[in-house]
C-alpha cells in the first residue's frame, strides 16, 4: 500500500525531476568514487546459476531464471552483485586500496510488500574494494561509512544549490550514530527491528546499525542476510531519518566481506553447507579471492531522499498494483 503524507505535493515537476535525477547520479558517482578510490566497470544483467555468483539475499527470494537455447544452460537475473564484484576484483587484478563500482539493475520477484519504498525493480550502485587483513576491523568499516555519508551530503548540497526549492527538504545529518543490532535490542526489547530503527533514526537522524544476519540474544536476527558475502560481525545498514515519510530510511547495506573462516562458520550456522561445492565458495574457502569490503547504495532511494519524493515510483519506472496507482492518482502523485 502507498502511504502519501497529507497535503504532499512534489517540489519538482516531472521534467525537472528527470533532469535532477541525472544530475544527482553523476554527482554522487563522482563523490563516491573519489572518496573510496573506485573505478567504474561494466556489470552483468544475469549470471549462470551453476557458478553460485548470484546473491541469495535473505536466502528465500527466488531469482528470475531462464534457459539459454544455444548453450543449454540456465541463467539467472542478478539479485545483487556482491559475489560477482569480488570475483571481478580477482580477475581484473585490483590491489589493496582500489575498488570498483557499477550500475546494478535487478528484479525482486518475491518482494513481500510494494509500497512507498519497495518495488520489484531495484537499481543501485554496487561497489567493492580490496582490503588487507589489518583492515578487517570495525574502525575501518566505520571510516568507510562516514566517507559514504559525506558523499551523500555533499551531493545534496550541490543539488540544492542548483535547485534552491529543494532546500525545503532540509539538510541531512553528517554525523553518524553507530549502534549494534544487539544494543538496539537491549534498548528496545519490546519493539520490532523496524520499530527500533525508527526510534534511533528519529533521534540521531543518521545511523549505522552494525551486526546484521547473525542471531541476537533473543534468538532472532535483526534482519536476514545471506551467509556468503558479509561477515555478520562487521556489516550493517546506513539509515537516514526521512522527515517527509516520518520513518527510518535505509539507503545502503554494506560490510566487510567474509574471509574463509567466517564463511565456513556462517555456512554451517545458516544450514547452507551445500553451497561449498559451488565455484565461488570453493575459491573463497581456499583463500583464492581477495579480502574486500563492499555494498549497495540505492539509486532510486537516493533520488527520493534528495528530491523530497513520497513514493519510489516517482523516480523509477516499475509495475504497480491497480490499487496503488489509484491511490497515488487520487493524491496527485505521478508514478512513472
Cell of 169: 527538504
| Residue 55 among the catalytic residues | yes
Contacts of residue 6, defined as CB under 8 A and 6 or more positions apart, other chains included, come to none
Closest CA relative to residue 149, chosen from 234, 244, 249: 249
Residue 7 domain flag: no
| Residue 262 among the catalytic residues | no
Q: Reply yes or no on whether the pLDDT at 280 is more than 70.
A: yes
- In the set 124, 233, 252, 262, the catalytic residue is 124
* CATH number of the structural domain spanning residue 261: 3.30.930.10
Residue 215 domain flag: yes
Question: What pLDDT does 57 receive?
Answer: 63
Using pLDDT thresholds of 50, 70 and 90, give the confidence band for residue 141.
very high
- In the set 119, 253, 266, 299, the catalytic residue is 253
Assign 232 to helix, strand or coil: strand
Using pLDDT thresholds of 50, 70 and 90, give the confidence band for residue 225.
confident
Q: How many independent structural domains does the chain possess? A: 1
- In the set 156, 250, 270, 299, the catalytic residue is 250
Residue 336 domain flag: no
pLDDT tens-digit profile of 82-138? 888 998 999 999 999 999 999 888 888 777 777 788 888 889 999 999 999 999 999
Residue 322 domain flag: yes
Residue 120 domain flag: yes
| Residue 237 among the catalytic residues | yes
Residue 229 domain flag: yes
Alpha helices of the chain — where are they, by DSSP H?
14-36, 82-92, 138-162, 181-187, 193-204, 260-269, 279-285, 299-307, 322-330
- In the set 76, 80, 108, 231, the catalytic residue is 108
Q: 10 with 314: CB under 8 angstroms?
A: yes
- Percent of all residues in the chain with a pLDDT value above 70, rounded to a whole number: 97
- In the set 154, 228, 237, 314, the catalytic residue is 237
Closest CA relative to residue 123, chosen from 28, 190, 211, 196: 28
Q: 210 with 178: CB under 8 angstroms?
A: yes
Q: 196 with 185: CB under 8 angstroms?
A: yes
Residues 190-216, mean pLDDT to the nearest whole number: 95
Question: What pLDDT does 111 receive?
Answer: 72
Residue 53 domain flag: yes
- Reported as half-sphere exposure (CB side, CA atoms, 13 A), residue 248 has a value of 21
- In the set 29, 55, 154, 228, the catalytic residue is 55
Distances 85 to 42, 50, 104 between C-alpha atoms, Å: 10, 17, 11
Q: Is 217 exposed, middle or buried (0-12, 13-18, 19+ CB in 10 A)?
A: exposed
Please state the pTM of the whole predicted model: 0.91
Contacts of residue 30, defined as CB under 8 A and 6 or more positions apart, other chains included, come to none
Residues 12-18, mean pLDDT to the nearest whole number: 91
Instruction: Say how many C-beta atoms besides its own lie within 10 A of residue 52's C-beta.
Output: 22
Specify the residue for cell string 547520479: 25
Q: 235 with 241: CB under 8 angstroms?
A: no
Q: Sheet containing 177-180: which strands, arranged edge to edge? A: 38-40, 99-107, 121-130, 292-298, 247-257, 230-242, 206-210, 177-180
Beta partners for residue 39, in sequence order? 100
Contacts of residue 286, defined as CB under 8 A and 6 or more positions apart, other chains included, come to 260
| Residue 253 among the catalytic residues | yes
Distances 254 to 19, 106, 181, 194, 320 between C-alpha atoms, Å: 29, 17, 14, 18, 28
Residue 8 domain flag: no
| Residue 124 among the catalytic residues | yes
pLDDT tens-digit profile of 147-164? 999 999 999 999 999 999
| Residue 250 among the catalytic residues | yes
Q: Reply yes or no on whether the pLDDT at 5 is more than 60.
A: yes
Domain containing 140 equals 14-330
Amino acid at each position: 500500500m502507498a502511504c502519501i503524507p497529507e497535503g504532499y505535493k512534489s517540489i519538482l515537476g516531472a521534467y525537472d525531476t528527470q533532469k535532477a535525477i541525472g544530475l544527482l547520479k553523476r554527482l554522487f558517482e563522482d563523490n563516491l568514487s573519489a572518496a573510496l578510490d573506485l573505478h567504474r566497470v561494466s556489470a552483468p544483467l544475469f549470471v549462470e546459476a551453476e557458478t553460485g555468483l548470484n546473491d541469495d539475499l535473505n536466502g528465500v527470494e527466488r531469482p528470475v531464471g531462464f534457459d539459454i537455447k544455444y548453450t543449454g544452460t540456465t541463467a539467472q537475473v542478478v539479485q545483487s552483485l556482491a559475489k560477482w564484484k569480488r570475483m571481478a576484483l580477482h580477475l581484473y587484478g585490483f590491489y589493496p586500496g582500489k575498488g570498483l563500482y557499477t550500475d546494478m539493475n535487478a528484479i525482486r520477484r518475491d518482494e513481500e510488500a510494494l509500497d512507498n519504498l519497495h518495488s520489484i525493480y531495484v537499481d543501485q550502485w554496487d561497489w567493492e574494494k580490496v582490503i588487507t587483513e589489518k583492515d578487517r576491523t570495525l574502525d575501518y568499516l566505520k571510516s568507510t561509512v562516514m566517507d559514504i555519508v559525506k558523499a551523500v551530503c555533499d551531493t545534496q548540497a550541490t543539488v540544492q544549490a542548483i535547485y534552491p526549492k529543494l532546500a525545503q527538504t532540509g539538510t541531512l545529518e553528517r554525523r553518524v550514530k553507530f549502534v549494534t543490532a544487539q544494543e538496539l535490542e537491549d534498548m528496545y526489547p519490546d519493539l520490532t527491528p523496524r520499530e527500533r530503527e525508527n526510534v534511533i533514526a528519529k533521534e540521531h537522524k543518521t545511523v549505522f546499525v552494525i551486526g546484521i544476519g547473525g542471531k541476537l540474544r533473543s534468538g532472532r536476527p535483526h534482519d536476514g542476510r545471506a551467509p556468503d558475502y558479509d561477515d555478520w560481525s562487521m556489516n550493517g545498514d546506513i539509515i537516514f531519518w526521512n522527515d517527509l515519510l516520518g520513518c527510518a530510511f535505509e539507503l545502503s547495506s554494506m560490510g566487510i566481506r567474509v574471509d574463509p573462516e567466517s564463511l565456513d562458520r556462517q555456512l554451517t550456522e545458516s544450514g547452507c553447507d551445500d553451497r561449498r561445492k559451488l565455484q565461488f565458495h570453493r575459491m573463497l574457502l581456499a583463500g583464492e579471492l581477495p579480502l574486500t569490503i563492499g555494498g549497495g547504495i540505492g539509486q532510486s532511494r537516493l533520488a527520493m531522499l534528495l528530491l523530497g519524493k513520497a513514493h519510489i515510483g516517482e523516480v523509477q519506472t516499475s509495475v504497480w498494483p491497480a490499487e496503488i496507482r489509484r491511490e497515488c492518482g487520487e493524491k496527485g502523485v505521478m508514478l512513472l
